[in-house]
Amino acid sequence: MDDLKLVDVYVDEYLRDESGHTALRSMLNIINATGGKKVRPMVLLLAGRFGPRWPECRERLCKMGAAVEMIHTASLIHDDIVDDSPMRRKRRTVQSKFGKEMAVYAGDFVLSRIVYYLFKEASIEVGMLLAKTVESMCYGEIGQYARLYDTETTIEDYLSNIFGKTASLFVAACAIGAMESGCSEKTSMILRQVGEHIGYLFQLRDDLLNITSSSGREGKPVHCDLINGTYTMPILHALRHPSGGRLREVIHTIGSGTLVLRDIEKMGEEIQDILNSSRGIEFTREIIHNHAQQAKELLETLPKGPVRQGFLDILELLMGD
Ligand code: FPP
Ligand code: MG
C-alpha cells in the first residue's frame, strides 16, 4: 500500500469513536471528510527515506505521519473557532455545524488520541518534540492575537508568529522522519532547515492568496485577514512605504466597523492600489521565491534520486497551488 494511504489508515484508526456519542461520531465524519493535501506527512515520509533504517522504519513513519497530520487537524478545528470560520476546504467547519463548545471538545479529543497513541508506540522522543511543537504553535497564535489591529506590528513579529503557527510543524515533520530513520545529525539538520523554508513559504503564500485571490480562498473572502486585524507580509511592507499613511487611514476606517459591503469593495480597490505602489505583493513573492530557492540549495547537498526529487515536487506543488 502507498505510504500516504497507510497514514490515512492510521488516522482513521486513531480517531475511531469508542464512545457511541452521535455528536462525536458526526464531528469525526466531518474531520475525516475534510482531509487536505497531507503535505506534513508527505514531508515526514520523505525525510524518513534518507536514513539507514529505512525501510524497516516504514510502518512507524506512517504512524508518526498520522500523529503529525492529527496535530494539524486539531489546530485547524481550534483555529476555525477563533476565526469564527463557516467553511474550510469547501465544507462546513465543525464549529459552524456543531457550535464552538463541541468544536473545542473535538479538538481536545483529537489531541488526546495523539498523546495516547504516541505513548502506546513508546515514542517518548517524538512525543516530547511534538509537545514542544504544539507549544510553538500556541506561541505563534498568541503572538498573532496579541498584535491584532496593531499597525506597529513589525515584519520580525510576523515572521516569528508564522514560524510558530506553521513552520514549526514542518520542522518537526522533518526532524521525526530523520530521527526515526537514523539520519546523521548533519542530514537531520539539513532536513529540518528544508522543513523550515517549506513552512515559511507555505504560510506566506497562504497569506498572500488572501490578498491576491479575487474570489477568496477556502471560503475566506479576499482581504479577510486585513479586515480581521491580522496584518500579513504585503500589508506590513506597505505600511512601511510612503503610501503607508493612506493604508493606516483605510485600516482605521475598516476598524471603525461602520462599513457596508459596498464600502469594503471600494476599499478593496484602494488597498490594491496601495499594494501596487508599495510593491508589497512583489516583495512577498520575492521572499517566497527565496525560501523555495534556499530549500532547493539545501536539497542539492543531499543524495540525488527519487527521494530528493520528491521534496522538489512538493516545493513545486506548493509554489503552483
Ligand atoms: C491557520 O492559520 C492556523 C494555524 C496554522 C495554527 C493554529 C494553531 C493553534 C490553534 C494552536 C495549536 C493548537 C492545537 C490544538 C494543536 P490561518 O488562520 O492563518 O490560516 P487559515 O486561512 O487556514 O485559517
Ligand atoms: Mg484561520
Span 96-138, pLDDT tens digits: 999 999 999 999 999 999 999 999 998 999 999 999 999 999 9
Position in ligand 1 atom list of the atom nearest CA 138 = 11
Which of these, 117, 133, 204, lies nearest to 175 by C-alpha position? 133
User: How many angstroms separate the CA atoms of 135 and 128, rounded?
Assistant: 11
The CATH number for 272's domain is 1.10.600.10
The atom number, within ligand 1, closest to the CA of 144 reads 19
Q: How far, in Å, CA of 83 to CA of 85, rounded?
A: 5
**Protein residue whose Cα sits closest to atom 11 of ligand 1:** 138
Say if ligand 1 is within 6 A of residue 104 CB: no
- pTM value > 0.95: yes
Q: What's the CA gap between 1 and 252, in Å, rounded?
A: 55
Q: Report the domain count for the chain.
A: 1
Residue nearest to atom 4 of ligand 1 (CA): 165
Tell me which residue range forms the domain holding 184.
3-320
pLDDT digits (tens, 9 = 90+) for 22-64: 999 999 999 988 778 999 999 999 999 999 999 999 999 999 9
Question: Which set of grid coordinates corresponds to residue 229?
Answer: 486585524
Confidence check: pLDDT of 231 > 80: yes
Q: Quick check: CB of 74 below 6 Å from ligand 1?
A: yes
pLDDT for 218 equals 66
How far apart are alpha carbons 210 and 216 in whole angstroms? 6
What span, in angstroms and rounded, lies between the C-alpha atoms of 242 and 247? 10
Phi-psi region of 49 (alpha: psi -120 to 50; beta: other; left: phi over 0): alpha
pLDDT above 70 coverage of the chain, percent: 96
